[in-house]
């Protein structure tokens, strides 16, 4: 995965993420959109043959979009760790 910052200011962030497609793009956009300081969060695929997506985030200005994305990513890591733990419990502690 490689990330290219296209725009980053106090209200808007546009990044292109290479090596990922709809799976991560949709997860990130939907998760960021739930943040209370976010006005817009969306992703697009610029070309169907390219494994990359562009994420655009616009906030209300009370929190930077970089901070919002960081918070959301940290929350997704916590959620993933919790899901792994619950699956292990359900499987009786096995891997």
Q: What is the pLDDT of residues 1-59, one digit of tens each?
A: 999 999 999 999 999 999 999 999 999 999 999 999 999 999 999 999 999 999 999 99
Is residue 90 classed exposed, middle or buried when 0-12, 13-18 and 19+ CB atoms within 10 A define those classes?
exposed
Is residue 92 classed exposed, middle or buried when 0-12, 13-18 and 19+ CB atoms within 10 A define those classes?
exposed
Angle CA(66)–CA(72)–CA(78) in degrees, nearest 5?
140
Give me the long-range contacts of 70-78 (CB less than 8 A, separation at least 24). Answer: 71/35, 72/28, 72/31, 72/32, 72/35, 73/28, 75/31, 76/27, 76/31
What is the Cα 9 distance to its own chain's centre? 18
pLDDT in tens, 45-75: 999 999 999 999 999 999 999 999 999 999 9
Mean pLDDT over the full length of the chain: 96
pLDDT at position 95 is 57
């Amino acid at each position: 995965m490689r990330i290219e910052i296209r725009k980053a200011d106090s209200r808007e962030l546009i990044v292109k993420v290479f090596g990922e497609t709809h799976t991560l793009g949709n997860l990130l956009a939907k998760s960021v959109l739930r943040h209370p300081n976010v006005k817009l969060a969306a992703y697009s695929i610029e070309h169907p043959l390219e494994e990359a997506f562009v994420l655009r985030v616009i906030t209300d200005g009370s929190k930077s979009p970089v901070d919002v994305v960081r918070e959301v990513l940290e929350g997704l890591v916590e959620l993933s760790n919790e899901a792994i733990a619950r699956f292990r419990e359900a499987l009786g502690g096995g891997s």
